[in-house]
Amino acid sequence: MTLKVYNTLKREKETFVPLKAGKVGMYVCGPTTYDYIHLGNARPLVVFDTVRRYLEYTGYEVDYIQNFTDIDDKIINRANEVGEDPIQLAARFVEEYFQDAKALNVRPATVHPKVSTHMGDIIAMIRRLEEKGHAYEMEGDVYFSIPSFKDYGKLSGRSQEDMQAGARVEVDERKRHPMDFALWKKVKPGEPSWDSPWGKGRPGWHIECSAMSQKYLGDTFDIHGGGQDLIFPHHENEIAQSEACTSTAPMARYWLHNGFITVNQEKMSKSLGNFFTLRQILKKFSGDVVRFYLLSTHYRSPLDFDDTKLEAAQKGLQRLRTGRRLLEEALKDSARQSGNNRPAAQREKLADQWTKTKNDFREAMDDDFNTALALSLLFDLARETNAFLHGGEGLGAEDLQLLRHVAETFDQLSGVMGIELSETAEAADDSLVDGLMDLLISLRAEARKKKDWATADKIRDGLKELAIIIEDTPQGARWKKG
């Protein structure tokens, strides 16, 4: 089997061949840390974490780099709004990111570089671009010269004229070309700044990823990932900077981009006011459910958001967990292990499905990481396993050996998806919910005892918004999902 990936740069699927046999260098653009991540941010985190997991499952050693943009206009503006130091605000939301990533079972990267701690690398790269004639300084600002890089536009597939007409270009009469973009920005009052050959200032957005990817992965690496919205201008500008600086092409061999999250067929974004933070969603659905939902559609396709789709994902995940639990119970139930094997035909049918699932899973994931098809194969295996378990009373040695193989495959393949199916994970979710509900019901009971009806009603009504119904009975309050 051969892995094929859709390369945005070539606009077609290509056979994946890494630079170094058995090793993969992978850079994924991380969040700008000025707020909690929303569902649109969460999709590339889950997608490329799954890509990494699959590459490791197939035997590759993956050097996975995901940055944090902790210096940016958005961070400075937000810090001014809330009266907080920009560096401290960004650091706070970096920590919040790790909480959200953990909830989604996204593994930490090999390295999480921050812009603020790589200023020397960024300044050195800008100086090299200036020396090679690809950058120029104007009164403390430094710009990249678009006309100096003849391949500009090759990732997005648009001409410079088309991009200029469609882009939101910051008006600056000092620029030599309207599309030239900032590499270094002269300090403004109240902004964080660093010393540089051009005076105090801070880097532009695009140069940051070029400098950090080059530091950790070299002039050319295997995979660059990110959301579709980053193709232009961010990734286009990364290519221009990196390849102009090193005179090496390509910067990355394969460019992978996930599709948008939409709400009522419109892209989810803060500017449209139709975004949902992951924290909001996690109040109603577990991180495993959100991850399952994000992987239920091919990563390059748009994914429309609404609660009904998350509810469907919740039910689907529960079916898989139930199937895995029944399998575990059968393996632990000594009373069922009678020593009498099932008819060979039953065992062969399950064995065939087990083999087919393993092979088809590899085939699905080798076809540009088709997680939607890969997940459906787990349902097929669960269904055949359940049929086998209900096909008789006892289990013999050959039956048990096959079931252990099936259980191992369930765990391996769900692990590639980053989804935990074990009884322990299910019980942990349930026990957390039960504990929190007991606490809330206790607080509500205390409020009612003190005749603090406002607090009691606030707890009841708040839970109702989360589809949890409180029922007051003679034996005390009890709850159920609405």
Beta-strand pair 23-28/61-66: parallel
What domain count does the chain have? 3
The answer to whether residue 70 sits within a structural domain is yes
| 371-389 and 307-332 helices, crossing angle to 10° | 40
Q: Provide mean pLDDT across the span 344-361.
A: 97
pLDDT at 358: 98
Q: Are residues 163 and 30 in the same domain?
A: yes
| 287-295 and 86-103 helices, crossing angle to 10° | 80
Q: Please, which pLDDT band fits residue 343 given cuts at 50, 70 and 90?
A: very high
CA neighbor of 464 nearest in space, from 439, 444, 481, 451: 481
Q: Are residues 247 and 124 in the same domain?
A: yes
In this prediction the pTM is 0.86
Q: Which residues contact 117 (CB under 8 A, 6 or more apart)?
A: none
Q: Are residues 314 and 387 in the same domain?
A: yes
Q: Are residues 290 and 328 in the same domain?
A: no
Question: Which of these three, 375, 404, 421, is where a domain ends?
Answer: 421
Q: Please, which pLDDT band fits residue 444 given cuts at 50, 70 and 90?
A: confident
Percent of the chain having pLDDT more than 70?
91
Q: Are residues 115 and 201 in the same domain?
A: yes
Q: Are residues 109 and 228 in the same domain?
A: yes
φ, ψ of residue 65 to 5 degrees: the values are -115, 125
* Interval 236-257: pLDDT, tens: 999 999 999 999 889 999 999 9
Q: Are residues 50 and 183 in the same domain?
A: yes
The answer to whether residue 191 sits within a structural domain is yes
CA 168-117-108 angle, to 5 degrees, is 90
* Interval 157-178: pLDDT, tens: 987 666 665 455 556 778 999 9
Measured distance CA(378)–CA(357) in Å, rounded: 7
The answer to whether 173 is a known ligand-binding residue is no
pLDDT at 107: 98
CB 366 within 8 A of CB 1: yes
CB 38 within 8 A of CB 393: no
Query: What average pLDDT does the structure give for the chain?
Result: 91
Q: Are residues 291 and 428 in the same domain?
A: no
When computed from its CA atoms, the radius of gyration of the chain, rounded to whole angstroms, is 27
Measured distance CA(196)–CA(137) in Å, rounded: 12
pLDDT of residue 431 exceeding 50, the answer is no
pLDDT at 480: 63
Q: Are residues 433 and 388 in the same domain?
A: no
Beta-strand pair 141-144/181-186: antiparallel
CB 262 within 8 A of CB 268: yes
275, amino acid identity: F
The answer to whether residue 452 sits within a structural domain is yes
Question: Which of these three, 255, 272, 295, is where a domain ends?
Answer: 295
The answer to whether residue 67 sits within a structural domain is yes
The answer to whether residue 300 sits within a structural domain is no
Cis peptide before 250 (omega within 30 of 0): yes
Q: Are residues 156 and 55 in the same domain?
A: yes
The answer to whether 245 is a known ligand-binding residue is no
The alpha-helical segments, DSSP class H, found in 16-61 are 39-57
Question: Which of these three, 263, 295, 327, is where a domain ends?
Answer: 295
* Interval 68-80: pLDDT, tens: 999 999 999 999 9
The parent domain of residue 160 ranges over 4-295
Measured distance CA(436)–CA(462) in Å, rounded: 14
The answer to whether residue 301 sits within a structural domain is no
